[in-house]
Chains A and B, each alone.
Chain A
Amino acid sequence: MRTNDVMLQTATKVVTFIILMFAVHIFFAGHYTPGGGFIGGLLTTTAIVLLMLAFDIPTVKKVLPINYVVLTAVGLLFAIATASASIIFDVPFFTHAYDYYDLPLFGETSLHSALLFDIGVYLVVVGVTMTIIQTIGEDE
């Protein structure tokens, strides 16, 4: 029996954006407070999975035409590039650097190269989990 899931779909349309917003917040919170790339990536995945539950996989593929395998590869590239960039500056592999910058809007902010590594983690988590869920979901 096909039920009318208008309530689920309407709620999803708003809730997805809030989850994505929270994912961004958690991602940037990682340095001083609980959070980081892994949980941020998982939260992003939950938002996309919620879309998939409320609508269907073809719709979500049309909304987000992302090849998640490529996304995983890009994330790994980010991680390896951040780790190996330290070699150029003649310091051991995986040495991070940070400094304080006066950004507009944010005020004085410390920019840490660990953030770039975290972006890699984030992309890999989103890519891998979405690949798993999509592969299982499309299996007839």
Chain B
Amino acid sequence: MSLQILLNFFLAFVWMFMTVSFTPSGFTIGFLIGLGIIMLMRRFFSKRLYISRVWALISLFLLFLRELFKSSVQVLSIVIRPNMNIKPAIFEMETELNDDWQVTLLSALITLTPGTLVIGISDDQKRLYIHALDFEDIDAAVSSIKNTFERAILEVSRA
């Protein structure tokens, strides 16, 4: 992946030298044309196209914004309720993420969305301990996190 980005930058500089336009716009045009050529030759690389990983990252960010909005509304509705009959709970979630940055990112995303909070990670990094503000069903809570954040992070890190 990093090799593809390097090649893209290299092609952008080749373009700048060919067209004798040493300006940011010349670089951008060269970068875009190089990206087009790399996309045309995508089957030439053993790894997948780096732009798809960039796209996965963008969609993870959009997913985070959506979840943030949804759960903020939920927490707001809990806060303004006159009788606060909530059921807080701490539950355990198994994760299939391995790398340090993946677990960190997942924990940060879970914590940043209101309503859930990561309070600890097991020593072998296989389980997260999560505090939920209003708790109904462990399977529903775990599967909602697994289907959104964990899957998106796996999509980003897929080789």
Shortest Cβ distance from A105 into B: residue: B25
Shortest Cβ distance from A104 into B: residue: B25
Contact of B41 among A16, A24, A25, A106 (CB under 8 A): A16
Q: A24 vs B32: C-alpha distance in the bound complex, in angstroms?
A: 12
Interface residues of B, CB < 8 Å — how many? 18
Q: A25 vs B17: C-alpha distance in the bound complex, in angstroms?
A: 11
B44 touches A63 (CB 8 A): yes
Q: A106 vs B25: C-alpha distance in the bound complex, in angstroms?
A: 7
Shortest Cβ distance from A23 into B: residue: B37
Residues of chain B touching chain A, judged by Cβ–Cβ distance below 8 Å, are: 7, 11, 14-15, 18-19, 25, 28-30, 33-34, 37-38, 40-41, 43-44
B41 touches A17 (CB 8 A): yes
Closest CB in chain B relative to A130 CB, distance in Å: 14
Q: A22 vs B33: C-alpha distance in the bound complex, in angstroms?
A: 11
Known: A24-B33, A105-B25, A105-B29. A63 touches B43 (CB 8 A): yes
Closest CB in chain A relative to B133 CB, distance in Å: 46
A25 touches B34 (CB 8 A): no
Chain A positions within 8 Å of B43 at CB level: 62-65
> In the complex, which range does the number of interface residues on chain A fall in?
10 to 19
Q: A62 vs B45: C-alpha distance in the bound complex, in angstroms?
A: 12
Residues of chain A touching chain B, judged by Cβ–Cβ distance below 8 Å, are: 13-14, 16-18, 20-22, 24-25, 62-65, 105-107
Known: A22-B18, A63-B43. A17 touches B34 (CB 8 A): yes
A-B contact pairs, 17 of them (CB 8 A): A13-B44, A16-B41, A17-B11, A17-B38, A17-B41, A21-B11, A21-B14, A21-B37, A22-B14, A25-B15, A62-B43, A63-B41, A64-B41, A64-B43, A65-B43, A105-B25, A106-B25
Q: A63 vs B25: C-alpha distance in the bound complex, in angstroms?
A: 31
B33 touches A17 (CB 8 A): no
Contact of A25 among B18, B25, B44 (CB under 8 A): B18
Q: A106 vs B14: C-alpha distance in the bound complex, in angstroms?
A: 18
Chain A positions within 8 Å of B41 at CB level: 16-17, 20, 63-64
Q: A64 vs B118: C-alpha distance in the bound complex, in angstroms?
A: 48
Chain B positions within 8 Å of A106 at CB level: 25, 29
A107 touches B18 (CB 8 A): no
Closest CB in chain B relative to A82 CB, distance in Å: 22
Shortest Cβ distance from B43 into A: residue: A63
Q: A20 vs B84: C-alpha distance in the bound complex, in angstroms?
A: 66
Give 7 closest A-B pairs by Cβ, nearest first. Answer: A63-B43, A105-B25, A25-B18, A20-B37, A63-B44, A21-B14, A21-B11
